[in-house]
Amino acid sequence: MYARLSSIMFPIATLLFVGAIVWGYQEHQEKNSILIKAENQYQRAFHDLSHHMGRLHDQLGETLAVSSASHGMQRKGLVNVWRLTSQAQNEINQLPLALLPFNKAEQFLSRISNFAYRTAVRDLTKQPLSSDEMKLMKSLYQTSDSINQELGKVQDAVIQDRLRWMDVEVAMASENGPNDNTIIDGFKAMDKQMGAYPESDWGPSAMSTDRELSTAGLEGKQMTPEEIKRKALEFLGPQARGGEVNVSEDGGETEMAAFTVSVKGSEGASIQLDYTRKGGHLLWFMNPRDVKSRKINFDTARNKGSQFLVRHGYKNMTPIAYDEYDHVAVFTYAGTIDGVKIYPDKVTVRVALDNGEVVGLQARDHVFAPKLLTPGKPKLTKEQAQKGLNPDFRIENHSLAVIENDMREPTLCHEFVGRVNDHRYRIYLNADTGLEENIEQIADAEKTLYQ
């Protein structure tokens, strides 16, 4: 009996054993193939990074070498600096550096990119590079040379010692891993080198894009949790009746200290609101209840949104954009002064299409928008400005609007809405110079705003 059983089981066990070996070998091969592919991608990204950082240093030198009157060559050089910096940033993102402190290097590259772009897009014949900007570029040139030396040391070690990036990933992921990995040490040295660059030397061209939100300039006193709770309940009205209210503080002593309020709504949904600690300004409100059907039309939803804003003190707002999804209408409103739309001052309202209830508000841009007393007067008339439009552009609507230009400066523009190449666009022409400041394609859902 046992002989018969063994004669049956032994071949089966043998087959299973052989199958396990084959399966294990295949898994091992697939794993090796994946590791080799990942290693090749890391090596390619690293050597591309080294190449582009070298070209960045060269391009800065070439831009400095041309005559100060060669505005075309300066612009070309700055565009190339921007392109090379963007490529270097992309390659850094492909390397396994997520666990490595490398934020100073990434910020440094981001600011070079911002400086080069913002400087290149302006009219250098009317606003040439200043002495401070030239001094900045010389310093960037010297700093990039030091960075390339550090990067060259890492590259030499990688090639000569056949270092693997997969070992870097393992070393950073392990709490007890080695701390003297050549690649890790090299990139730490690079980050330190970039971080040593003086913060104050960047100037307005680069710093304009790094504007950080701060409550320091807001009106009002420092609010207490109890005061914020009362504001939230007053804002919500019947929605919060009888609901449990929790208030928590975020940001501590930072420049963006805020309170988060959570209220159990009438339908069981947890309504969320964010307020600034200074002044108690509402930043965000969301009632995440399910909206399962559409019963009201566009005009009714827009009226509900506009009435909601007026009721809560957001006056002189006009709808400028519209979208719709999951039976919720999303309207963006901009403030107006003397009939001129102020695009930096905007709020977004979400209206449920089942009953017209406002279920969301995003007011951060409104709270932190530069407060304009007057939009100013245009030097060019509508007729003068529209001469700068494409001859094929068919104008459907015109108004004056204030937008932020590439330097984040409020700029009065003629806003033309129209069609060209079977699409609808908003084109903003500077009201003083007639130059194009911005172009936006209008989504199909927004067409009802202009009918």
* Contact criterion met (CB below 8 Å) for 409 and 383: no
Q: What is the pLDDT of residue 52?
A: 87
Listed as ranges, residues in the chain with pLDDT below 70 are: 1-20, 22-35, 38, 96-105, 161, 163, 165-216, 240-242, 251-255, 265-268, 444-451
Q: What is the pLDDT of residue 361?
A: 94
The answer, as to whether pTM is greater than 0.75, is no
Between CA 95 and CA 50 the distance in angstroms is 12
Q: What is the pLDDT of residue 204?
A: 44
Query: To 10 degrees, what angle do helices 131-160 and 2-65 make?
Result: 150
Task: Enumerate the domain spans of the chain.
Answer: 16-210, 225-368, 382-450
Between CA 207 and CA 181 the distance in angstroms is 35
Q: What is the pLDDT of residue 29?
A: 59
Q: What is the pLDDT of residue 301?
A: 93
Compute how many other C-beta atoms are within 10 angstroms of the C-beta atom of residue 386: 18
Quickly name the fold that domain 382-450 has.
Nuclear Transport Factor 2; Chain: A, (3.10.450)
Q: What's the pLDDT tens digit per position in 78-105?
A: 889 888 888 888 887 777 665 455 566 6
Q: What is the pLDDT of residue 103?
A: 61
Q: How far is CA 6 from the centre of its chain?
A: 69
Between CA 378 and CA 400 the distance in angstroms is 9
Structure-token match 């320091």, residue found = 216
Between CA 187 and CA 150 the distance in angstroms is 8
**CA angle, residues 257, 259, 260, in degrees to nearest 5:** 135
Q: What is the pLDDT of residue 285?
A: 92
* Contact criterion met (CB below 8 Å) for 386 and 414: yes
Mean pLDDT of the chain: 79
Query: 383: closest CA among 369, 395, 367, 401?
Result: 395
Q: What is the pLDDT of residue 99?
A: 46
